[in-house]
């Protein structure tokens, strides 16, 4: 099963690059402990969006939303999480193009967790990031 998890907060989730990487590492460890695979992610100052494969038993709260994703919906979620493109360092797309800490299966060579060929996923991500570019220019990123 695939899930889309979103954490939203009024406070910044990170203030430095080091804080961001610690948060991503903690998320990856928690998911791995629950036999889940982090497929893709986008970490913004006030939100963390994750695409996860596995079985999630948590409930929806005010801070968290968890939605099950059907396989036919998965590509649109890859586009949503990939909206900042390959140059934003706190996302799975960045891991594909740059030598970086690798938290998501999307950035790991030989990962068998991806349900679509990488070329198809990248096409959707590129299309979404070019659409979102104008909207993001005015948005503040830490």
pLDDT in tens, 10-20: 999 999 999 99
Confidence at residue 98, expressed as pLDDT on a 0 to 100 scale: 77
Nearest to 83 by CA among 117, 44, 46: 44
> Is residue 99 situated within a structural domain?
yes
> Is residue 57 situated within a structural domain?
yes
Interatomic CA distance for residues 132 and 136, integer angstroms = 6
Edge-to-edge strands, sheet with 47-53: 37-44, 47-53, 2-8, 64-69
Confidence at residue 118, expressed as pLDDT on a 0 to 100 scale: 79
Confidence at residue 133, expressed as pLDDT on a 0 to 100 scale: 47
pLDDT at 138 over 70: no
> Is residue 59 situated within a structural domain?
yes
> Is residue 8 situated within a structural domain?
yes
Q: How many domains does the chain have?
A: 1
Pseudo-torsion of CA 69, 45, 98, 72, nearest 10°?
Answer: 10
> Is residue 142 situated within a structural domain?
no
> Is residue 107 situated within a structural domain?
yes
Confidence at residue 85, expressed as pLDDT on a 0 to 100 scale: 82
Pseudo-torsion of CA 32, 5, 61, 59, nearest 10°?
Answer: -50
Classify 42 as helix, strand or coil: strand
Assigned token pair, 40: 């893709």
* Structural domain boundaries enclosing 6: 2-137
Confidence at residue 139, expressed as pLDDT on a 0 to 100 scale: 43
> Is residue 106 situated within a structural domain?
yes
Residue identified by tokens 């299309």 is 127
> Is residue 87 situated within a structural domain?
yes
Whole-model pTM over 0.95: no
Interatomic CA distance for residues 106 and 62, integer angstroms = 28
């Amino acid at each position: 099963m695939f899930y889309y998890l979103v954490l939203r907060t009024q406070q910044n989730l990170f203030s430095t690059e080091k804080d961001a990487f610690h948060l991503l590492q903690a998320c990856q460890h928690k998911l791995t402990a629950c036999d889940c695979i982090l497929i893709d992610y986008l970490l913004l100052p006030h939100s963390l969006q994750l695409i996860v494969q596995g079985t999630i038993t948590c409930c929806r709260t005010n801070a968290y939303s968890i939605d099950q994703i059907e396989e036919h919906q998965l590509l649109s979620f890859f586009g949503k999480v990939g909206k900042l493109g390959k140059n934003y360092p706190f996302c799975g797309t960045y891991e594909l193009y740059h030598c970086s800490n690798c938290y998501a299966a999307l950035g790991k060579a030989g990962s068998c967790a991806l349900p679509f060929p990488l070329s198809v996923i990248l096409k959707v991500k590129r299309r979404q990031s070019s659409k979102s570019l104008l909207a993001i220019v005015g948005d503040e990123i830490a």
